[in-house]
Amino acid sequence: MEFSAQQIASFLNGEIVGNPTVTVSDFSKIEEGKPGTLSFLSNPKYSHYIYDCNSDVVLVNRSFVPERDVKATLIKVENAYESLAVLMGIVEEHKPKKNGVSSLAYIAPTAKIGANVYVAPYVYVGDNAEIGNYSILDSFTYIGDGARVGNNCQLHAGVKIEKDCTIGDRCILHAGVVIGSDGFGFAPTDDGSYRKIPQTGNVIIEDNVEIGANSTIDRATLGNTIIHKGVKIDNLVQIAHNVEIDENTVIAAQSGVAGSTRLGKQCVLAGQVGIAGHLEIADGSVFGAQTGVPGSLKTPNQIYQGYPAVPVTTFRRASVVYKNLPELQKTVYELQKQLAELQSKIK
């Protein structure tokens, strides 16, 4: 699919600097720009690439002022990164989509399949399950009894939606995602063994949620595990039973949230963050990589780092001290020695 610079600027409410008739049919990174493609520049540290870039069109922020001539046609927008996402979304929407149900898929007689759905070979759809309009189920997807998948969803290869779980509209679940596996519930007994607690709840995932490959969201012991609209979850993330994650929160890879914890709106968890169970985390909380959270945090819009989680400014000051510990230890030993000598003289 080919677009002119003028068309792209119209889509994005952008300002053209250069040739409005030049056309592009693909995307490329600015450091690897090729003729016939569109690149973008949003991070200033990549600015030097724009002067030798062979891309025909480059999206830039309105604030960008070139230091010398640029070969490419520039389209100035408010936010180049966001505009790239909008443009790529438009391109994806115009790509032809598969539809139809493979003869190699199993669809239970009581299941309901919407219009223009694509069901790939080796998909399983259980009794009383529902698949919404225009949704895509790639090979080896499993939809359990009574589960519901909304409209315009994409479930990649090997996704498992266990019984009675609900997926909203416009959700993307990447390969290997498991929704509704049993929560980790075991009651200790007098003889030191553990008795399994049946996990009788479910998982509710609202609209516009994306979940990365091989992430797992456990069903509730009782009631619901809830992922609210707009949440974005990276690969290899574990969400335990009865957790509730509020709107537009973002969770990066290898993070985990223990049972019955509630995360507020627009929180950010960087990689390998661990949050203990039965906690309340305020809206807008941001956690740096490998932060451990053992207690509730009630003040909104704060940034935390370290274990236990402390305000990031405190963590940075503590890190300076930690780096200097060997020298500080030497100083303490020297002061102890001098003190001992003084005490000896006084006596």
Spans of the chain, pLDDT less than 70: none
Pairing state between β 3-4 and 23-24: antiparallel
Amino acid at 195: R
Rounded Cα distance, 78 and 60, in Å: 8
Active site residue 241: yes
Task: Provide φ and ψ at 172, rounded to 5°.
Answer: -125, 125
Rounded Cα distance, 145 and 176, in Å: 19
Instruction: Encode pLDDT of 43-91 as tens digits.
Output: 999 999 999 999 999 999 999 999 999 999 999 999 999 999 999 988 8
Rounded Cα distance, 258 and 248, in Å: 19
Q: Give me the pLDDT at residue 93, please.
A: 80
Q: Give me the pLDDT at residue 248, please.
A: 98
Q: Give me the pLDDT at residue 322, please.
A: 84
Instruction: Tell me which of 48, 228, 241, 278 is the catalytic residue.
Output: 241
Region of residue 139 (left: phi > 0; alpha: psi -120 to 50; beta: else):
beta
Rounded Cα distance, 210 and 295, in Å: 27
Nearest to 270 by CA among 300, 299, 234: 234
